[in-house]
Amino acid sequence: MASRSGVVPVGIVVLLLVALAVFAPILARRQGITWLPTLSATQEGPQGMAHRVWVNRRSGFYFCHHSKFYGKIRPGFYLRQGSALQRGYRPAEGDLCP
């Protein structure tokens, strides 16, 4: 007869993961932690995050207009840099577009 000793630890791990998924957002809101950077209206101006970038859906990165991958990697779409950051996309080259 097979031992059921492996079932209990798996059940505990699943229970802990569910509790983490439920309580982590609640605790983060209570502590004032934000998961994505928030952009003010002044950052959306011409000097700020208004640059048009190419977003690659698969990789989660975006490319600036001077990149050789701008508009070329599929699947992708054009978006403003500020909106791309708010949706969770990150700069492919590590820095914001100039």
User: Between 24 and 56, whose confidence is greater?
Assistant: 56
Buried b / exposed e over 34-65, threshold 16 CB at 10 Å, is eeeeeeeeeeeeeebbebebbbbeeeebbbbe
Question: Omega before 98 cis (within 30°)?
Answer: no
pLDDT, average across residues 67-78:
90
* Residue 26 shares a structural domain with residue 48: no
* Residue 59 shares a structural domain with residue 30: no
Which of the residue ranges 11-25, 37-51, 60-74 would you say has the lowest mean pLDDT? 37-51
Domain residue limits at 64: 41-91
pLDDT at 53: 94
The number of domains in the chain is 2
What angle is formed at CA 87 by the lines to CA 39 and CA 31, rounded to 5 degrees? 60
pLDDT at 19: 79
* Residue 73 shares a structural domain with residue 50: yes
* Residue 75 shares a structural domain with residue 54: yes
* Residue 56 shares a structural domain with residue 84: yes
- What's the rounded Cα separation, in Å, for the pair 84 and 90? 8
* Residue 14 shares a structural domain with residue 50: no
Indicate the average pLDDT of the chain. Answer: 77
